[in-house]
């Protein structure tokens, strides 16, 4: 059952470790840009989006 669930997760969700790594890189980039320009709507919106995405990925990892 565990192997089947792992296969299903990879097919439907992809590699969550890679996604978390890419998310962390993007968060670092956005945070650097926000330090230079804290009033940027675009980067603030992007930061919120990336934080929500990270939360979903971490919850997925915790469940599976």
This prediction has a pTM of: 0.74
Q: Note the pLDDT of residue 64.
A: 67
Instruction: Quote the pLDDT of residue 2.
Output: 84
CA-CA distances (angstroms) from residue 48 to 2, 8, 20, 23, 60? Answer: 33, 29, 15, 12, 19
pLDDT digits (tens, 9 = 90+) for 2-50: 888 878 777 776 777 888 999 999 999 999 999 999 999 999 999 999 9
Q: Where are the domains of the chain?
A: 17-59
């Amino acid at each position: 059952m565990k192997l089947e669930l792992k296969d299903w997760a990879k097919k439907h969700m992809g590699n969550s470790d890679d996604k978390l790594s890419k998310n962390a890189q993007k968060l670092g980039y956005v945070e650097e840009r926000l330090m230079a320009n804290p009033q940027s709507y675009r980067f603030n919106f992007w930061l919120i989006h990336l934080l929500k995405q990270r939360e979903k990925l971490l919850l997925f990892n915790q469940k599976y």
